[in-house]
Amino acid sequence: MRNTKLAWLFFALLVFTSHVKSQTTFPVNDVATPREGFYAFINATIYKDANIKLENATLIIRKGKVESIGNKATVPAGAIIVDCKGKYIYPSFIDPWSDYGTPTTRIATTTGGGFGRTTQMVSNTKGAYGWNQAIRSETDMSAIFETNEMKAKELRGLGFGTVLTHQMDGISRGSGAVVTLGAEKENKVVLKAKAAAFYSFNKGSSTQDYPTSLMGSIALLRQNFLDAQWYKSRPTEEGVNLSLQAFLDNQALPQFFESADKWSDLRADKVGDEFGVQYILKAGGNEYQRINEIKATNASYILPLNFPQAMDVEDPTDARFISLADLKHWELAAANPAAFEKANISFSLTAYGLKETSSFMPNLRKAIQMGLSEEMALAALTKNPATLVGVYDQVGSLEAGKQANFLITSGPVFSDKTVFYQNWVQGIKYSLKEEGWKDVRGNYTLDVNGQTYNLQVKGEPGKPVANLISGDSTKIDLLLNDRLVKMNYTLKKDSAAMIRLSGVMSDSSWSGTGQLANGQWVSWTARKTSELKPGTDSARKKRTAIEKLGEITYPFNGYGTVQIPKQQNILITNATVWTSEKEGKLASTDVLVKNGKIVAVGKGLKDPSALVIDGAGKHLTAGIIDEHSHIAGTGGINECSQSVTSESRIADIIDPEDVDIYRQLSGGVTSSHILHGSCNTIGGQTQLIKLRWGVNAEQMKFTNWDPFIKFALGENVKRSSTQNNPRFPDTRMGVEEVLTDAFTRAVEYQKMGAGKRKDLKLEALSEILNKKRFITCHSYVQSEINALIKVADKFGFTVNTFTHILEGYKVADKMKAHGSAASTFSDWWGYKVEVIDAIPQNASLMQKVGLNVAINSDDAEMARRLNQEAAKSVKYAGMGEEDALMMVTINPATMLHVADRTGSIKAGKDADLVLWSDHPLSIYAKAEKTIVDGTIYFDRQQDQALRDNIAKERTRIIQKMIASKKSGDRTGPAVPSFRDRNSCEDDHHEGNSLWDRIVERFGSTETE
Amino acid sequence: MQKIMYKIFFSILLMSTTCVGYTQENMHPAPKQAKPIVIQNATIHNGNGKVLEGAYLVIENGKIKALGTGTVTSIPGAEIIDASGKHVYPGIIAASTNLGLVEVSTVRAGADYQELGDLNPNIHSIVAYNTDSKVINTLRSNGVLLAHIVPAGGAIRGSSSVVQLDAWNWEDAAYKIDNGVHFNMPVLLNRPNQFRRRGSESVDLVKLGLDKLEEARKFFREASAYNKEKTHTAVNLKYAGVQGLFDQSQTFFVHCDLVREMMVAIDLANEFGFKLVIVGGSDSWLIPDILKKNNVAVILSEPHSLPATDDDDVDQPYKTGAALQKAGVLFTICQDNGSGYWQQRNLPFQAGTMAAYGLTKEEALTAVTLSAAKILGIEEKAGSLEVGKDANIVISEGDLLDMKSSKVSRAFIQGRMLNLDNKQTQLYEKYKYKYDIK
């Protein structure tokens, strides 16, 4: 019997494959069973691609490829005919962002670096690879790829037939492969090996210390480009470096970069621009908030559909801690793809990152509801991703010669009623939900034991709903299992007794046997008499009117505005003007601002174009400049991994939406010098910004500014707060040697000839030696101050600024002789050993010795009161009031080499101004208006309007979230929107926000 | 030559001060008041909201004997201090601090404010209070004369005491011993994953906190029963440590910030009949009426804080005091974080900020003087300038709450005139000498 069957099968296959000569290297433990997979799908509505729709068309496939497609295709003899009447055929989707088939043996992610850990200076990867474990350019996904039917099945169920997969680990992740989701051997499913190269800012599973921060990751990537260039010359001292070689080889491929959010998109694009690479960006999902900047990258994007879940906000004390930014993002996230389409930015879609893959289609429908066109949605799932990696000749549309990857559905692919029946991958059928393939809906005559009833089957294909119509309707429990039918029902007249029928179905009639309520066996039939009248069923709910959505504000948080404030001409009249110039304090004086500059300071000024602000009874000062700040940075403010990290740049990690920027404007701050932290001797390059609230990071930066770098000495550098510091140096003796060594290397580097490896660490140090870059050095005690001065003298440069410098008063004469400025705290002391001799008269003493002295904050809260901190020198040391104010205006401007532009009230300078309600050194003074470049960025009245709007918007969205929950949307617990605040050190900033206070109490909550 | 000049200068300084020693190690607590002192022609800020212009104040035997406007009838043998143009205040009270329990917070060896264990009601801060801390003198010179020394560590942190800041040893310093027991409220808020222990992503943290709280309730129930016994078969120091809470001879200080936590604290205090004070209270501005209704006082954490959330008003912490004042809640302020020792000298300015944001200057002063005294249970003898109270007095050249004008020229604790030098003024003099600065 079995043999007969096999013989028959063999015969059939022989007929079907008669003209094919299939060859393979693989031996068979059987007789060969070549198959051709010759099918004709007829009567279908076929979308060849997003734009071409064929009605009543035929698709013919053979040997895994499309053979022909069209309205008039003749069905060849020998093809298996599949009638697709009423059904739709689409090219299967392509996911360009996937880790499908990554081997499962992965290393747990850990981070090195921090306090108290052992150090790992170089990679643990065995072999002829590079020094950094996060650079894995040598990874070749096609070589490690393993099919994974469980995962493949899940993706096929969503409609995908092909993915671009890569190992998502590291900063340079190597190359990825285009593979189909077929259940075949790897050889068959890999469509393109080394299809693209992948990168990110995330070091992934690397256990190596470096990098610990976002800016370190960026620096590493940059250096890797340079190292690869240099490696082309085959430097003998490097030997073979397979990582660099692979990085070079991979440059010929499309370059994909994983970003976390809109700002990181810009960061990645900028690094690419520096090296002539256009990255394709895997987006974070909030790009709609800055679509103009996103468009300016000229990049193609891959957009995730992992929109945030609604939260449980019924308890107002929980909801209170969800920020308006997060609430707004919940409301608008699904508008991201539509924003890209509207801005005409090329993009693809990915299912990657969804908590539950089943939310893929519902989320895509949300995106469509928010304005994404269905054509674009389909293109973004087919042609666009195929084109990105040059496989559109194989997949992404249904055309002769392409892979037979297609979906058969019950209706339009994005309709919420549509059932995906089958997903064909490389000509092989994968059933998804076949129950509805056969549409059983219609009117039937049911005959049970001679009794006749009208049976109506409605619902959806695959989800039929049956009723007996006879006067009242009786619901029938109808269960279809392929061709088997089960029906249970209870007649009204005998409601306690269930009638149970079982049978099989053929095309239009069903028949079988069953038991009545009394146990009598009966036979039954059901015959289709007519189709359902159209419209009686599944009446599409009319799409609810376009809901009211919140507006996009700049920045995207409570204190942002729909329009970024604009520069205006301003005339402030009759104010007490503190010029911070030799003119001193001027009573009842006018200041005129035009085109962002101060144009006149005097009495009786007039300008019809100007907004007049009455300054009578008020005080006008130059904007406050904070020499030492850590606000507006993201991804870590310290690159702690090595003692010299001069290659890291704060410029790379500016976060222009940090609400502390606005808070500082409310305290009269107009410029902040954003510094690397103090956890290593030679930290990172700094960035001076103007607090232009609402603009992007690049627009915040000072232009034509002498670049600075952060150095640090003493306890933080020695990691004194840990008992077992593993990182050199551990003493001030070692700190001095780190400095001497670094500059010795820099001098030698400068002497190297052409063809040298461009070393970004040493480049930055060379700039110092060449007086192109300037130092601000975190320092406390006199010995270390003196030591750095001696190192600087030896190498012929000047330490521009000693910052903190709490023992500066002890060596002010030496600092003066060296030519340094001093930027200090007003009265901080006692929080660690190196500050026990700090005195609040320090600023005054240093000033009297002749140093240029500033008061800085190093603290996001205190920065709002720097004017009052300056006033403490009046209190403790009798400093003159104007001199005190200059410590937070012109003095830091001079220190930062921008006194020609800002820091005082003088015609020709930038209009960076603060109008105070009271004497600017008084505890009672409030900034009423803070002006940067002639633009009012903070205004106490406007502030009130923003507060009102925050309350209104919060209420609106919270109500909407509750409604969404009530309507059945899944929600999660309310998660507070707290974030880590950057701080220079770990030892003196505790406790100045609620979150800090809560974190302190965590310990007592979670004791075992 | 310079050295000779310095010596001369030094001698002049010595002569001009009523106190003997000059260097820090030789500075000693002032001797007991020997003769009456009359401060006259002053602007007196009583601390209870009243201001007397052209006023006098008489100190005798460490107490305020008399005060009023106009001139005082001559008191034989009295020292007369002319305070024309000057301002006289009650001493500022640091309402929650680890002063004297720590000298340098990063040095473990010197940190005596955080004990091991979870239930530490038997711990007493007073016994570790170091009167020789170099920090203390830097507070007095800014007008801070009394401090509430609060232990940390554990859910029940121990009992606190109030000290005066001019003493030879802690027994001398003690102003009110074991005035309260401190409880750390568990955090009753969910938190993002980066603030959770690894692997605890799905734990209901509010539930965890409430479970923790239930342990405390259990402890108090047991302690209540224990303290009702006349004799004990075995003495339990922990139960005995909270005895004063039940008869309200001790105050129940609960350290917490969130609305839910404060509500739970009220419930807890009501269950056991404790006299409740909230310490922290960042979000107390949301429920001032509830606090008032339950007669709960608040020691508000530093006004110089960042807003609790990104959406809160940028000046919310500055004006929280005003919200409490408006509702009639008894409150003071503190700096109770890890830097809460050396930073106490800025308490007057934190009060000043509240005055810029909704309080009157006298209300702000009351908060850090009389209200603090009431909350700590020392209002009978401190907190305001009233006849019969201890003469804890500060004389400032200008407004004490404004750094622009605050210059403390004299201060008295219990009538003893303090030496207002400190380590920092001494280093200042040393380096003025080095640079030949006058």
pLDDT value, residue B116 = 92
Examine the pLDDT at A698 and tell me if it is beyond 70.
yes
Both A495 and A427 in one domain: the answer is: no
Spatial distance between the Cα atoms of A243 and A139, rounded to a whole number of angstroms: 9
pLDDT tens track for A918-946: 999 999 999 999 999 999 999 999 999 99
Give the Cα separation of A145 and A177 in Å (integer): 8
Both tokens assigned to A980: 């880590």
Residue B2 vs residue B248, higher pLDDT: B248
pLDDT of residue A124: 93
What is the structure's pLDDT at B326?
A: 98
Question: For chain A, what is the mean pLDDT?
Answer: 91
Encode B126-135: b = buried (16+ Cβ within 10 Å), e = exposed: bebbbbebbb
**B18 touches B31 (CB < 8 A):** no
pLDDT recorded at residue A31: 86
* pLDDT attached to residue B17: 42
Distance between CA atoms of B245 and B224, rounded to whole angstroms? Answer: 9
Which residues form the domain of A60? 36-91+396-434
Q: At residue A989, does pLDDT exceed 80?
A: no
Q: What's residue B163's pLDDT?
A: 98
Report pLDDT for A995.
Answer: 79
Do residues A350 and A403 share a domain?
A: no
* 3 state DSSP class of B183: strand
Q: How confident is the model at residue A130 (pLDDT cuts 50, 70, 90)?
A: very high
| pLDDT score at B12 | 45
Q: A511, A530, A549: which is the final residue of a domain? A: A530
The Cα of B65 is separated from the nearest Cα of chain A by a number of Å equal to: 32
Largest CA distance in chain A: 116
What's the pLDDT score for residue A16?
46
- Please, which residues 6-65 of chain B have a Cβ atom closer than 8 Å to chain A? none
Whether residue A619 is found in the same domain as residue A652: no
Q: Is residue A423 located within the same domain as residue A297?
A: no
Name every chain A residue with its beta carbon within 8 A of the beta carbon of B338: 831, 990-991, 1000
**pLDDT-based confidence at residue A468 (cuts at 50, 70, 90):** confident
Res A494: pLDDT = 66
Residue A657 is assigned to a structural domain of this protein: yes
The model's confidence at residue A6, banded by pLDDT at 50, 70 and 90, is low
- pLDDT-derived band of residue A22, with 50, 70 and 90 as boundaries? low
A301 and A414 assigned to the same domain: no
Weakest-pLDDT range from A111-125, A146-160, A193-207, A434-448 = A111-125
Whether residue A669 contacts residue A786, with contact meaning beta carbons closer than 8 Å, is answered with no
Answer yes or no: do A617 and A639 share one domain: no
Q: Do A992 and B306 touch (CB under 8 A)?
A: yes
- Whether residue A464 lies inside any domain: the answer is yes
B288 — contact with chain A (CB < 8 Å)? Answer: no
pLDDT of residue A374: 97
What is residue A24's predicted lDDT score, i.e. its pLDDT?
A: 79
ipTM of the complex: 0.94
- Three-state DSSP at B404 gives coil
- ∠ Cα A578 A579 A584 (to 5°): 80
Q: Which segments of B23-62 are extended strands (E)? A: 37-45, 51-60
Question: Rounded to an integer, what is the distance from CA A120 to the centroid of its chain?
Answer: 28
The whole-number pLDDT of residue A113 equals 41
B237/chain A closest Cα distance in angstroms? 21
Look up residue A75 and give its DSSP letter: P
Band of pLDDT at residue A467, cut at 50, 70 and 90? confident
**Structure confidence by residue, pLDDT tens digits, B182-214:** 999 999 999 888 778 777 888 898 999 999 999
Torsion over CA of A758, A762, A767 and A770, rounded to 10 degrees? Answer: -100
Are A375 and A419 contained in the same domain? Answer: no
Residues B240-247 have a mean pLDDT of 96
With an 8 Å Cβ cutoff, is A840 touching chain B? yes
Set of chain B residues whose Cβ sits within 8 Å of the Cβ of A981: 306
Query: Number of A:B CB contacts under 8 A?
Result: 219
Q: Give the type of residue at B269.
A: A
Q: CATH number, domain at A503?
A: 2.40.128.120
The 10 Å Cβ neighbour count of residue A154 is 17
- Tell me, yes or no, whether A952 lies in a domain: no
> Higher confidence at residue A511 or residue B196?
A511
Residue of A nearest to B349 (CA): A923
- What are the C-alpha distances in Å from A554 to residues A321, A370, A653? 21, 21, 18
One domain for residues A98 and A151: yes
**A474 shares a domain with A353:** no
- The owner of tokens 């690479």 is A277
A976–B306 CB contact, under 8 Å: no
Please state which architecture CATH assigns to domain B174-382: Alpha-Beta Barrel (3.20)
Pick the range with the lowest mean pLDDT from A788-792, A975-979, B247-251: A975-979
Look at chain A and report how many structural domains it folds into: 5
pLDDT above 60 for A178: yes
Confidence of residue A3 (pLDDT cuts 50, 70, 90): low
pLDDT digits (tens, 9 = 90+) for A623-676: 999 999 999 999 999 998 999 999 999 999 999 999 999 999 999 999 999 999
| Cβ-based contacts of A325 with chain B (< 8 Å) | 310
Structure tokens at A366: 């949300």
Residue A985 lies in a domain: no
Residue A114, pLDDT score: 45
In this structure, CATH architecture of domain B2-89+420-435: Roll (2.30)
Mean pLDDT of B151-173: 96
Under an 8 A CB cutoff, do B352 and A997 touch? no
Identify the residue whose tokens are 């410098």.
A805
The answer to whether residues A69 and A103 belong to one domain is no
Give A14's pLDDT tier (boundaries 50, 70, 90): very low
Domain boundary among the residues A414, A434, A454 is at: A434
Interface test with A, best of B198, B212, B260, B306 (most A CBs within 10 A): B306
Find, among A622, A160, A175, the residue nearest to A423 by Cα.
Answer: A160
Domain boundary among A856, A884, A901: A901
Strand runs (DSSP E) across A553-622, as ranges?
570-578, 585-594, 597-602, 611-614, 619-622
CB atoms < 10 A from the CB of A992, how many?
A: 23
Torsion of the alpha carbons at B267, B271, B275 and B279, rounded to the nearest 10: -30
Residue A719 predicted with pLDDT over 90: no
Residues A374 and A417 in one domain: no
Assign residue A386 the CATH number of its domain: 3.20.20.140
Are B195 and A1002 in contact (CB < 8 Å)?
Answer: yes
* B248 Rama class: left (phi>0) / alpha (psi -120 to 50) / beta: left
What is the rounded distance in angstroms from the CA atom of residue B17 to the CA atom of residue A578? 38
**Which distant-in-sequence residues (6+ apart) come within 8 Å of A243 by Cβ?**
A129, A130, A135, A136, A137, A138, A172
Residue A749: strand, helix, or coil: helix
Same domain, A139 and A220: yes
Phi, psi (deg, nearest 5) at residue A198: -130, 145
pLDDT at A537 over 70: no
| C-alpha–C-alpha distance, residues B251 and B330, integer Å | 14
Check CB contact of A829 with chain B, cutoff 8 Å.
yes
Q: Where are the domains of chain B?
A: 2-89+420-435, 174-382
Does residue A116 register a pLDDT over 80? no
Is the pLDDT reported for residue A689 higher than 90? yes
